[in-house]
Amino acid sequence: MSLEEKNLPFDEYVYNDKWRSRTIDVKTYWEYHKRSIENLEEFWASIARELEWFRPWDRVLDASNPPFYKWFVGGELNLSYLAVDRHVKTWRKNKLALIWEGEPVDQAGYPTDRRKLTYYDLWREVNRAACMLHCNFGIKKGDRVTLYMPMIPELPIAMYAAWRIGAITNVVFSGFSADALADRINDSQSRLVITADGFWRRGKVVRLKEVVDKALEKAPSVENVIVYRRLGLNDVPMTEGRDWFWDRAMAGVPHNAYVEPERLESTHPSYILYTSGTTGKPKGIVHDTGGWAVHIYATMKWVFDLKDDDIYWCTADIGWVTGHSYIVLGPMLMGATEVMYEGAPDFPQPDRWWAIIERYGVTVLYTSPTAIRTFMRFGEEWPRKHDLSTLRIIHSVGEPINPEAWRWAYRNLGYQNVAFGSTWWMTETGGIVISHAPGLYLVPMKPGTNGPPLPGFEVDVVDENGNPVPPGVKGYLVIKKPYPGMLHTIWGDPERYVKTFWSRFPGVFYAGDYAIKDRDGYIWVLGRADEVIKVAGHRLGTYELESALISHPTVAEAAVIGIPDPIKGEVPMAFVVLKQGVAGTDELRKELRQHIRNTVGPIAEPGQIYFVTKLPKTRSGKIMRRLLRAVATGAPLGDVTTLEDETSVEEAKKAYEELKKEVS
């Protein structure tokens, strides 16, 4: 859809009032929103009071040292207590917390590995794991623990165990390479790593422990490794005195162990999560305890409208922030029943997800545009095999959702009778910021929009100088006031925190996205305004991929860009200058692909690698990725006055055309 089309008027409104939502008009919504911003502190305090605090806060917001804002200062709480203990004191004690399904199926296609945990089960497991961490490994408040785990219940269990004793989690996505894992362990200086022998993915075993071993060759801070046996492999390499199987690590921990939850200050860091930026190594985004809990609790209610009879399923991986906020913390804060799935969406067939929704009667689904587009390609006969009529709310996240994908899902998954939105937020915001809110007030939906900002969030779209742009004009997305879930710093680098997020437009948070605001005040996020690319919703820095390429002995220089892809949203393309005397063969292309897989991870594998002898640069030596993007998408070059050597673009074009010929 073009900017003009997104521009006004846009009149395709789809109302939904099947499920308890109060639908209201936009004007009324904005009045409500305005009141929340005018009384920001009281607004958030009224939500925070619905949680249980060990000690109430003295101050809602301490803004004395911006941008180092502090939320609920003086308050004390514990996430593990809020998500688990609180429910076992009520009728929810034996309510199902987690329905977990492993990937393997029998011949009839029925899952063979399933586990169901009630809140009471969870409470016991979390206490035992907390005891293991604290009593057997000496983990204490403030220590960092790295988790490199598949999608199994022990991952949230281990996270709650860590948070119970005040340890700071550092979850690393299990698809990342040993190098990426080592970087994240080193930067966070973790004492302990928790992992698994492996997991199932598309019918194959993925071995994890070996990756950890490789990472630990470069990560000396780690004293111990705990290995959960997901697969029961009998040839897992174990280092004596350092590595322990989870069951052995539990030695001496009684079945009814109880560990008193630490009274943590609201500002105590709960987790670090590394994410890619424009330059340098991935940044360790740091989130607090109290602010994050309040933000997640509020958005669970507003956006997902979770009630006790709901069955909630977020299809993300816990290795990304979506999983942290909306698999691990959110549903459990609410005492909800949630589904968790280990494997691939298309195993053994492209209807696995629809079978899961039908099997458990899922009512609320949180997924990604990339997944929806993949299913579109498989065809609507797959969802049609199953009864999905239980679904009442669907949201997507991670990248813009194209209206065609929205319509496809609205029709084929939602039977044209669901609330369906695209929630905008990012690792840095900790929770959803712009979204439709069927649990609060549902304003008319428009396919492809993010909707208006949630109450309590002051969002705007501004021009180069930080001035708001009129409706329909493209600008930069900013958040103008602090909000509870916001990041607090970059681990070990507070200066970079200020520089990255608060310096582009002084005093406001710069998200790094392009967006437009329509006449109703709805936000349409268009994509990144920086050198970050989104591959299947996963965030990658072009700089990271370039460094990975340059670390290969044959590569002199590299420039990576993202180009649009119908399924993945974007794919990376690499332009590579080889060292003198090295021939650019297909063999080498293969080797470089493998090198990226090894150093960053399989998700970062470039769609194509082009060999050139020089890169387009400005006279000051800056790589002009914009021109490479134009070459690879066939777009006009635009302004080339700062280009130093025009033949560089000609050469890139030639390299591009040649490979295109080969493919077709």
Query: Considering the complex, what minimum distance in angstroms separates the CB of residue 356 from ligand WT7?
Result: 21
Alpha-helical (H) ranges within 464-534 are 494-502
Q: Are 391 and 409 in contact (CB under 8 A)?
A: no
Query: Considering the complex, what minimum distance in angstroms separates the CB of residue 556 from ligand WT7?
Result: 31
- Name the residue among 72, 82, 87 with its Cα closest to residue 120: 87
- Which segments within 130-289 are labelled E, that is strand? 144-148, 168-171, 192-196, 198-201, 204-207, 224-228, 243-245, 264-265, 271-275, 283-287
Judged by beta carbon, residue 162 or residue 327, the one nearer ligand WT7 is: 327
Judged by beta carbon, residue 167 or residue 445, the one nearer ligand WT7 is: 445
Query: Considering the complex, what minimum distance in angstroms separates the CB of residue 577 from ligand WT7?
Result: 29
CB within 8 Å of 188: residues ≥ 6 apart: 144, 146, 168, 170, 272, 284, 491
Query: Residue 14's beta-bridge partner residues?
Result: 445
- Which segments within 357-488 are labelled E, that is strand? 364-367, 393-396, 419-422, 459-462, 475-479
Judged by beta carbon, residue 193 or residue 303, the one nearer ligand WT7 is: 303
Cis peptide before 282 (omega within 30 of 0): no
The CA distance from 47 to 41, in Å, is: 10
Judged by beta carbon, residue 200 or residue 292, the one nearer ligand WT7 is: 292
509-517 and 114-118 as β-strands: parallel, antiparallel, unpaired?
unpaired
The CA distance from 242 to 192, in Å, is: 10
The CA distance from 80 to 127, in Å, is: 9
Query: Considering the complex, what minimum distance in angstroms separates the CB of residue 231 from ligand WT7?
Result: 29
Return the amino acid letter for 172. V
Query: Considering the complex, what minimum distance in angstroms separates the CB of residue 427 from ligand WT7?
Result: 3
- Name the residue among 302, 333, 311, 308 with its Cα closest to residue 439: 302
Judged by beta carbon, residue 525 or residue 592, the one nearer ligand WT7 is: 525
Query: Considering the complex, what minimum distance in angstroms separates the CB of residue 129 from ligand WT7?
Result: 26
CB within 8 Å of 652: residues ≥ 6 apart: 575, 610, 612, 615, 616, 627, 628, 631
Query: Considering the complex, what minimum distance in angstroms separates the CB of residue 399 from ligand WT7?
Result: 5
Return the amino acid letter for 120. Y
Query: Considering the complex, what minimum distance in angstroms separates the CB of residue 240 from ligand WT7?
Result: 39
Judged by beta carbon, residue 427 or residue 500, the one nearer ligand WT7 is: 427
Query: Considering the complex, what minimum distance in angstroms separates the CB of residue 536 from ligand WT7?
Result: 11
Judged by beta carbon, residue 198 or residue 512, the one nearer ligand WT7 is: 512
The CA distance from 171 to 154, in Å, is: 13
Alpha-carbon torsion, ordered 336, 337, 338, 342, to 10 deg? 140
What are the respective helix, strand and coil percentages of the chain, to the nearest 5?
A: 35, 25, 45
Judged by beta carbon, residue 401 or residue 577, the one nearer ligand WT7 is: 401
Query: Considering the complex, what minimum distance in angstroms separates the CB of residue 534 from ligand WT7?
Result: 6
Binding residues vs ligand WT7 (CB under 6 A)? 275, 321-322, 397-400, 422-427, 450, 511-513, 525, 528, 534, 539
Cis peptide before 348 (omega within 30 of 0): yes
Q: Which DSSP symbol is given to 92?
A: G
The CA distance from 171 to 168, in Å, is: 10
Judged by beta carbon, residue 536 or residue 655, the one nearer ligand WT7 is: 536
- Name the residue among 613, 609, 573, 575 with its Cα closest to residue 590: 609
Judged by beta carbon, residue 561 or residue 588, the one nearer ligand WT7 is: 561
Query: Considering the complex, what minimum distance in angstroms separates the CB of residue 325 from ligand WT7?
Result: 8
Query: Considering the complex, what minimum distance in angstroms separates the CB of residue 379 from ligand WT7?
Result: 25
Judged by beta carbon, residue 348 or residue 527, the one nearer ligand WT7 is: 527
Judged by beta carbon, residue 561 or residue 577, the one nearer ligand WT7 is: 561
